[in-house]
Chains A and B, each alone.
Chain A
Amino acid sequence: MSSFLRASYTIAAKDLRSEMRTKEAFNASFSFSLVILVLFSFAFDPSSEELRTISGGLLWLVFSFAGALVLNRSFARELQNDCLDALVSSPAPTSAIFFGKTLANFLLLMIVEIAALAVFAVLYDTHFSKQFWPVVLVMLLGTWGMTVIGTMFSALTVNLRMREMMLPTLVYPLLIPALMAAMTLTSDLMSGTPLGKDNLIWLRVLAGFDFIYTVLAVVFIDIVLVG
């Protein structure tokens, strides 16, 4: 177990270090989310009350678009110089490679999301300070679901022609339960409804989704990467 975790940590640290040095994925996905956030202001009246009720949906759309940019690169960046083959033939188990990459993507995506959330709060005058920790919890769970599925499919589509197109077409429909739950919860929290009887079920959906797909991905990653 400890060797699994050590291998995962090494992979995650490697990915994060190379991201720290180039800041490629962060720059791309953060500036992309900025553009979408600005575009939203033309789609509806940004000062209206109704914004509160749809804010969760908007935020998660931004997050999932930004996520696709980060996740697309996750395995594709290993293609140069056959790094992927080297990784797969290294003594680290494929599930550890997957887990490490998921961890790195998760952290990176969380940073992008927090930055985007701050910009969203400033531009659209939303107040969620009372519900801050529940919002963070929903973000953690939703982002984990997104990264697990995204990293898995990033590995799955890495050798495909039309990789950039296949990843979103496969990932978004699968993410629907998680996104639906996260959107509902975030909208509730943003409009002042605390976590409680009515929306606790969504938290369970989100946690269940995360658990099921984490297990499935760890089980199947070997088939995807090695065969």
Chain B
Amino acid sequence: MTQTRDRILFVLAAVCAVLLCVDFYKIFLILPDEANQGAIYRIVYVHVPSIFTGFTGFFVALAASGAYLVTGKLKYDAFAAAVTEVSLAFATIVLATGMIWGRIIWGIWWAWDARLTTMLVCWLIYAGYLMLRRAIDEPTQRARLSAVVSIFGCVDILIVWKSIEWWRTQHPAPVLSVRDGGGMGPGMEAPIYWNWLAFMCLAAILVMVRTRQEQRSREIDSLRRMAHSY
């Protein structure tokens, strides 16, 4: 079991490394600068794949939390915690790269635009989720309560997403061709998807490692408690 898991980890890591090397070679050395934005547009190749990966993760975490509540198996809880943590890291990358881009193109680090605000709210909610986990010692109680918070949080993000859209938007409109038209030059769009794949591999590796850590730490905790009770 552990051996197959390790093998999967190594394969994923290799795929991820190759993908990233090829992608960044293309992005930095082959693709030309964008006509209006110059070199800084390249940040989109980190920004957009990160947000895709982050949001995929948050929905997976929602599913895992639901699975825990239905089955009561703690492995789903460990998985949900790991996924949320990794997704929060990607959400942080989204915020950071977005801010760097905004400083150069808009002239300000932060604009209270719809998408930015949604992302920040999302970040706050899941940061709260991780803080809550720290505050509870008892494993089943922690799993139960954090699953509920995860579900509440996910619903909230959908509401925030929708409601902020009516508020104000200055974030660049989606440039990918899957959503009407698409404003990127030929060959510029593909690296976004390849990077997404690479980031998903990276996220999967991190999640697998974190899930194992989470399970081990729970086992150690329960052993420690057993030892104390004797």
Interface on A for B, CB 8 Å cutoff?
149, 152, 156-157, 159-162, 166, 169-170, 173-174, 176-177, 180-181, 201, 205, 208-209, 212-213, 216, 220, 223-224, 227
Contacts and interface: CB of A to CB of B under 8 A. Distances in A.
Given A166-B132, A220-B151, A173 B125 contact: yes
B219 interface: no
B135 interface: yes
Contacts of A180: 163-164, 167
B60 interface: no
B144 interface: yes
B156 A159 contact: no
Interface string B148-174: 110111011001100110110000000
A140 B100 CA distance: 42
B163 A181 contact: yes
Given A220-B151, A223-B148, A170 B166 contact: no
Contacts of B160: 176-177
B163 A174 contact: no
28 contacts: A152-B152, A156-B148, A157-B132, A161-B135, A169-B128, A170-B128, A170-B132, A173-B124, A173-B125, A174-B152, A174-B153, A174-B156, A176-B156, A176-B160, A177-B156, A177-B163, A181-B163, A201-B166, A205-B159, A209-B159, A212-B155, A212-B159, A213-B152, A216-B151, A216-B155, A220-B148, A223-B144, A224-B145
A216 B158 CA distance: 14
A156 B149 contact: yes
Interface in B85-131: 121, 124-125, 128, 131
A213 to B, nearest CB: 8
Contacts of B128: 169-170, 173
Report the 4 A-B pairs with minimum CB-CB distance, sorted nearest first: A173-B124, A177-B159, A170-B128, A173-B125
Nearest to B148: A220
Interface of A is mostly: helix
Interface of B: 69, 121, 124-125, 128, 131-132, 135-136, 140-141, 144-145, 147-149, 151-153, 155-156, 159-160, 163-164, 166-167
B140 A227 contact: yes
Contact of B121 (A166, A173, A201, A220): A173
A208 B163 CA distance: 11
Nearest to A172: B124
Contact of A224 (B148, B156, B167): B148
Nearest to B123: A173
B121 A216 contact: no
Contacts of A166: 131-132, 135
Contacts of B167: 180
Nearest to B117: A176
A188 B56 CA distance: 37
Contact of B152 (A157, A161, A177, A216): A216
A176 B121 contact: yes
A181 B163 CA distance: 8
B167 to A, nearest CB: 7
Nearest to A212: B155
Contacts of A152: 152
Contacts of A177: 156, 159-160, 163
A210 B132 CA distance: 24
B134 to A, nearest CB: 9
B143 to A, nearest CB: 10
Contacts of A227: 140-141, 144
A159 B132 CA distance: 12
A169 B145 CA distance: 15
B175 to A, nearest CB: 27
B199 to A, nearest CB: 25
B68 to A, nearest CB: 10
A49 B152 CA distance: 39
A196 B1 CA distance: 63
B135 A174 contact: no
Contacts of B153: 174
